[in-house]
Structure 1
Amino acid sequence: MQIVKRLGTNIRAFRKAKGFTQAEMAEYCDLSTRGYQEIESGNIGTVRESTVNKLIKATGLTESELFGTSESQLVQSRDQLLVELFQKSSMINNTEMIQDLIDQADSFLDVENKRRKESV
C-alpha cells in the first residue's frame, strides 16, 4: 500500500510541476479522470501493470522515479534533518549526542539509497 501512496505522491508532483490539471493529466495518460484521481490520492489497492506503463509512456519517467524516492527528495530530507539537528544543537551542549544524531540521519539516508537502488 505504501508503494501506491508513493506513486500517487510522485505523479502528483510531476503533474503540478508541469502545470496540468488532473483531467488533463488523465487524458494525457489515457486514463479516466476518476481513475487518475484515485492513483494520485493513493486511495487504491493496486495499480495494474498496463496503467503503470501508460504513466511511464505519458510522463517519460522511469519506473523507479514513479515508485521511488528521487535523489532530490533524499537530499532535501537530509538537509531538513540537518537543519533540525542544528536547531536542536543550540539547546544541547553535548557534541557526542550531536554527532550521534548526524550519524543516525546519514544511516537513514544510506538505507533509503540502498532500498532505492534495490528497487531499480
Structure 2
Amino acid sequence: MTAQLRFTARGSHISEYPDPISFTRGTSLIIHEKYEGEEGWDNWFYCTLPGHTGGWVPGQILDRDEGTYRGLAKEDYTARELEVKKGDELVGLKSLNGWMWCERLSDGQSGWVPLSMLHRHTADNSYRTPH
C-alpha cells in the first residue's frame, strides 16, 4: 500500500482558464513573462504554442534555449485546473510552485489546485490506495 496525501478543499476554486495549455515532452514553446504576484506562486512562465493562446507552465519542466524566448518541454504537461467546492475530498499527487495536482475522490476528476485552498489531513487518517 502506498500512502497518498489527502486534502479537503477549504473553499471554492474556479478556473480562470477554460482552455488550458497542454503538450507532450519535446514540444517547442515560446516562453513569455514570469508570473509575479502576491500569492507566492514562484517559477511559473506564460508559454504559447501555435494555435493556442497559451497558459502558465512551471519552470522546472522547461528546457530554455539561452538568449532566446524559446524552449522545449521536458515532460508531458497540462495546465488544467480542478474546480473544487468547500469540503471536496482530494488526493494530492504532485506539488509544484504553490499548486498541487489533485484527484477528487468523488468522481476521479483531476487538475491543479492552489495549495492555499487545501487543508491537509493528518498522517493518522491519510488516504491509502490498495496495491
Whether these two folds match at TM > 0.5 is no
Report the TM range for the smaller structure's normalisation. under 0.3
More strand as a share of residues: 2
More helix as a share of residues: 1
TM-score (norm 2): 0.23
Structure with bigger RCO (C-alpha 8 Å, 6+ apart): 2
Q: Give the number of the structure whose alpha-carbon radius of gyration is greater.
A: 1
